[in-house]
Amino acid sequence: MLDDGTVAEIDRLAAPVMRTPRVGDAAQIWRIAKDSQVLDTNSSYAYLLWCRDFTGTSVVAEVDGRVVGFVIGYLRPESPDTVFVWQVAVEQAQQGLGTGTALIQHLLDTVAPHGVSVLETTIAPDNPGSIAMFGSVARRRGAELAKAPMFDPELFPDNHEAEDLYRIAPIDLEARK
């Protein structure tokens, strides 16, 4: 009989299943965002809407039936060849195991056949984990990673850092590693 600690470690190391979010996942997505202490926590209602209306551009990672990570995004209305990643997060215990990269790769595999060739996201300058993860995705796709200023702190009504735009292109299914 395995003890609880061993079972938890086996779960942690299990390869997550990537799937489309359902409305019933929104509460757990909200919890992961809140617990990350890095992301802006949007209202629980916003995550419900996302899990209803943007499932084609969002993915959850599940281990042993539990959602441990998510990415939510949308196609830019003015540039439908571009998927904008709004938020991505992985539970702390599951970080560093490739789940974040796998979520983004799964998203790109889903949208690329529909003509999406660009990924955009914004990242605050003090988030090395996120910068490293998107850098890793760009390398694995053989794509360029370009950075440009986007939202200055003065644009935010609250105390918010700058958000830089990161652009990964071209997204090419053939080049996936």
Binding site for ligand COA (CB under 6 A): 36, 38-39, 88-90, 95-101, 123, 127-130, 132-133, 136
Q: How many Cβ atoms from other residues are within 10 Å of residue 100's Cβ?
A: 24
Nearer to ligand COA among residue 51 and residue 89 (C-beta): 89
The burial of 128, by beta-carbon neighbours within 10 Å (0-12 exposed, 13-18 middle, 19 or more buried), is given as exposed
Minimum distance from residue 119 beta carbon to ligand COA (Å): 12
Give min distance, CB of 137 to ligand COA, in A.
Answer: 8
- To ligand COA, the closest distance from the beta carbon of 104 in angstroms equals 8
Question: Please, what is the minimum distance in Å from the beta carbon of residue 39 to ligand COA?
Answer: 5
- Name the residue number minimizing CB distance to ligand COA: 100
* Burial of 165: CB neighbours in 10 Å, binned 0-12, 13-18, 19+: middle
Question: How far is the C-alpha of 10 from the C-alpha of 4, rounded, in Å?
Answer: 10
Identify which of residues 114 and 142 has a Cβ nearer to ligand COA in the complex.
Answer: 142
For β-strands 118-123 and 79-90, DSSP reports them as parallel
Nearer to ligand COA, 128 or 142 (CB): 128
Q: Residue 156 in contact with residue 144, Cβ under 8 Å?
A: no
**Beta carbon of residue 100, minimum distance to ligand COA (angstroms, whole number):** 2
Cβ proximity to ligand COA: between 17 and 114 the closer is 17
**Could you tell me if residue 142 is left (phi over 0), alpha (psi between -120 and 50 degrees) or otherwise beta?**
left
Question: Residue 64 or 114: which CB sits closer to ligand COA?
Answer: 64
